A = this chain, B = another copy of it.
């Protein structure tokens, strides 16, 4: 193979299934991707993609190629982790992936102070609704809300994240005989035994919380979302519902990077400080 770097382009292309999308992934232009793919096909002597009207689709050969690039990619990722873990510098980048809502409710202030304490660290916060994979080095540190214990990663469980039932303050004062139920479409969908009829469903914690604050009805939220919110009242007759756990994770290869270390420790403290509220125990 003339140029190993073409495998990087090939993989992006096979995943994105379009030249433009792959180019965006690779932070380059579609012209370049088009040329590199063509060059790779010339080099290998066979077509990797079928140029149909459906866009680019892997040929059988391309599919086999894709399988074989797995070990290449795994190797490169291991190298990236090694290099990052080897980096003993305090100055430099570190990337954190965290759920948007958890960032706003729990981590915004601690991370603000983290950046003040360590101005030479370039913290990149990526808030997502999905979860990133620490193994692929898409992020260095991940705060994950999960029900499964983590597989490949290292780190700690920093809190439980139980659910409780909440409603707006005004709603609580004039509570109807039959409650309006704001359902959180959240796996697994949990419904406590209440005298209520469903009013609406949302898959976003923010949307549910907002509806509750507006007095739309009652609904479940993770405690970290609602505890301490002046506009929300917890229904005393509903017990805490055990749900997921919050883990702070990284990869063993980069655990000794001082920036990762510092960030992990800071996150541990931040969660320890707020654990009562997150777990719905203290006020």
Using a CB–CB distance below 8 Å, which chain A residues touch chain B?
Answer: 1, 3-5, 7-8, 43-46, 61, 64-65, 68-72, 74-76, 78-80, 82-84, 86-87, 89, 92
**Pairwise interchain contact B79-A68, C-beta atoms closer than 8 A:** yes
Q: For A86, list chain B residues within 8 Å (CB).
A: 44-46, 61
Shortest CB distance A77–B (Å): 9
Identical chains bound together, number: 2
* 8 Å CB contact of A4 from B5, B84, B87: B5
Bound complex: CA of A81 vs CA of B208, how far in Å? 55
Residue pairs across A and B with Cβ atoms less than 8 A apart, 18 shown, are A1-B76, A1-B83, A3-B5, A4-B5, A4-B7, A4-B72, A7-B76, A43-B83, A44-B86, A61-B86, A68-B82, A69-B79, A71-B71, A71-B72, A71-B74, A71-B75, A72-B79, A75-B75
> What 5 A-B pairs are tightest by C-beta distance, nearest first?
A72-B75, A44-B83, A71-B75, A5-B5, A4-B5
Chain B residue with Cβ nearest A83: B44
Bound complex: CA of A83 vs CA of B44, how far in Å? 5
Shortest CB distance A169–B (Å): 53
Q: For A92, list chain B residues within 8 Å (CB).
A: 45
Bound complex: CA of A43 vs CA of B87, how far in Å? 11
